[in-house]
Amino acid sequence: MAVATFWIILILVIVVAFMVNKYVKSASDYYVMGKKGGTIGITGVLTASYLSAVTFVGIAGIEYLNGPPIFLICYGSWIGMVFGFLYVGRRLRAYGAITMPDFLQERFGTNVRVTATIILIVGLLGYGVVQLMGAGVLLSTVTGISYNVVIVVFAVALVTFCAVAGMYSVVVVNTLLLATILVACFIIAPIMIKAGGGFEGLTTGLMNIDPDFWSAGGRKYHMPAGWTVGQFVLWALFFPAAPWIAGMALPCKNDFVVMRSISLATLFTTVGVVILFLGVSAMFLVNPNINPADQVFIWACKNQVHPILGGLGIAGVMAAILSSGATIFMGAGFGLSRDLYERYIMNKGGSLTESQKIIYARMAQIGVGVIVITFALSKPLAIYWISAWAGALFATAWLPTLIAGFEFKRASRVGVIAGMLCGAGSYIILYQCVKKWKLFTLPLGLDPVIYAIIISFAAIWVGSLLVKPKQEDMATYSRVKGIGLAENTLQSLSPGEMIKEYKMTKTLAWTSIIIAVVVLGLFAIRIVPAVSAGM
């Protein structure tokens, strides 16, 4: 079943990519789907990109061993996704960016854009490669196919469907894959909860084994409060600048699609992840010896549900890995082709035809694929170092830069570059000293990312005081600040269309709020008093 699922998913994504290739006629089609993304497609790609191997494998294993609260409390990626879409994404769209570095080029010029793009590519590759390697180990165990074959086949499928039709295939494929992910969260996870004894099992059952199953620090890890706060802040500040989140606002057809997509994606990811984590925690009551723990969801698919449903569940895990990997590696490829190479040609006074842009974009995707396969197969020591701090690069280098670009008129080019380098550099140094070499601890036990972000903002401010901003940059700031975030949409829709979109978006926002409050409120009512009894 697992082997069949593996091959079916991979063949499906490649076939779909070739089918949508006919819609790719220009570089805009390739990079941002010609800005034609509708609500279903963007919700699909956003939700599927958000739910990755980290959710279904790594954190699921931690939840299984520790109980629900350890990550439900500190899952800062939820607010990070909302902020990334509604604050960062809307602004990038309004300012006409096709990629995230586009905005930095417009605002601060070439040196800032190049520095940011290099950090972007390193961060994306570091974060993505280790996810792929982890996925390779998992899928190899589950399917019996050797690790090297899994890596090569997976990476070839990823590169093929990204290279063939860029954002078009990523959006369409991810939306299709989302169906299996939703089955995992909303059908299989509830079955897991029931198998563990339902609410009674989750409350009395787990509490009888160990009351710390319902503690913030977890039954096994007993993490301190400083860790919880640090994790929340890390994820909350990393996701707003993550290209596979904020960048998904760029292909949206209009502002209403942005708002509806984030409403739906937030509903799916909040309620879906809560149910998933309750489900994996319940599995401890069924089998406390699942080893390695991060295979808990796979074990449940094989042992607790009907084989067809189990196959769909495993497909959901593969879909989560594939979808996140696609948007991550696509971002790295776009960085190479558009933000480095195309810009280099433009700066030299040259130009590229639309066909040439698409060809070079595809070549960049293939180049990324080769790098990914090489790292994943050779497993150089450096990749573990890079991956440990790759994700935090977005929080410590990119986010302060974006905020300075949007809000700080007097941010200078030197200040922003200082901010990026000091943010990234200080994080790497603090991470190694505190977490790896354990030379000292930080005040309050907070994660190094918090201090690195403060250092980044401080460096932007000091650098901008020492080297004043150029007049043209301040003029650009005033110009972009004057652009209404709704302007494009207001101009592109007729009054009748505007009213229809407005009503649909408003209804969906209210509906999402009500569903989340009712469902999560019901969980709280059933669980909280039961686990509080006797305290």
Partner 1 sequence: MNMAALLSFLHPMLIMIICGVWVLAILKSDYSAVVNGSAGHAEVKGENK
Contact between residue 457 and residue 411 where contact means Cβ atoms under 8 Å apart = no
Length of the chain: 535
Tell me how far apart the alpha carbons of residues 477 and 189 are, in angstroms, rounded to a whole number: 48
- Which is closer to partner 1, CB of 267 or CB of 361? 267
> Is residue 517 a contact point for partner 1 (CB under 8 A)?
yes
- Using CB under 8 A as the binding criterion, the count of chain residues that bind partner 1 stands at 48
SS3 percent helix, strand, coil of the chain, rounded to 5, is: 85, 0, 15
Q: Which stretch binds partner 1 (CB under 8 A): 7-15, 22-30, 67-75, 467-475?
A: 67-75
The site map against partner 1 for 163-202 (x = CB under 8 A) is ----------------------------------------
C-alpha closest to that of 319 among 89, 499, 158: 158
> Is residue 249 a contact point for partner 1 (CB under 8 A)?
no
Closest contact distance (angstroms) between CB of 494 and partner 1 is 9
Tell me how far apart the alpha carbons of residues 162 and 172 are, in angstroms, rounded to a whole number: 11
Residue from 115, 143, 263, 396 binding partner 1 (CB under 8 A): 263
> Is residue 75 a contact point for partner 1 (CB under 8 A)?
yes
Q: How far is CA 132 from the centre of its chain?
A: 14
Q: Which stretch binds partner 1 (CB under 8 A): 114-122, 169-177, 414-422, 492-500?
A: 492-500
Tell me how far apart the alpha carbons of residues 457 and 340 are, in angstroms, rounded to a whole number: 26
Tell me how far apart the alpha carbons of residues 162 and 158 are, in angstroms, rounded to a whole number: 6
Closest contact distance (angstroms) between CB of 320 and partner 1 is 18
Closest contact distance (angstroms) between CB of 263 and partner 1 is 6
User: CA dihedral defined by 6, 7, 9, 15, rounded to 10 degrees?
Assistant: 160
> Is residue 209 a contact point for partner 1 (CB under 8 A)?
no
> Is residue 223 a contact point for partner 1 (CB under 8 A)?
no
Residue from 34, 44, 61, 68 binding partner 1 (CB under 8 A): 68
C-alpha closest to that of 410 among 352, 471, 364, 458: 471
> Is residue 259 a contact point for partner 1 (CB under 8 A)?
yes
Residue from 255, 294, 339, 342 binding partner 1 (CB under 8 A): 255
Residue from 120, 216, 283, 321 binding partner 1 (CB under 8 A): 216
Residue from 49, 115, 131, 266 binding partner 1 (CB under 8 A): 266
> Is residue 86 a contact point for partner 1 (CB under 8 A)?
yes
Closest contact distance (angstroms) between CB of 272 and partner 1 is 10
Report residue 514 as tokens.
């009500």
C-alpha closest to that of 227 among 80, 83, 69: 69
| N-terminal to C-terminal alpha carbon distance within the chain | 46
Report residue 134 as tokens.
């982890």
Tell me how far apart the alpha carbons of residues 284 and 461 are, in angstroms, rounded to a whole number: 50
> Is residue 505 a contact point for partner 1 (CB under 8 A)?
yes
Name the helix (H) or strand (E) containing 281. Answer: helix 255-286
> Is residue 323 a contact point for partner 1 (CB under 8 A)?
no
252 φ/ψ sector (left φ>0, alpha ψ -120 to 50, else beta): beta
Residues 456-485 binding partner 1 (CB under 8 A) are 484-485
C-alpha closest to that of 40 among 268, 198, 244: 268
Q: Which stretch binds partner 1 (CB under 8 A): 29-37, 142-150, 303-311, 517-525?
A: 517-525
Query: Can you give the binding site for partner 1, defined by CB under 8 A?
Result: 68-69, 72-73, 75, 78-79, 82, 86, 214-216, 255, 259, 262-263, 266-267, 270-271, 273-274, 484-486, 490, 495-496, 498-499, 502, 505-506, 509-510, 512-513, 516-517, 520-521, 523-524, 527-528, 531-532, 535
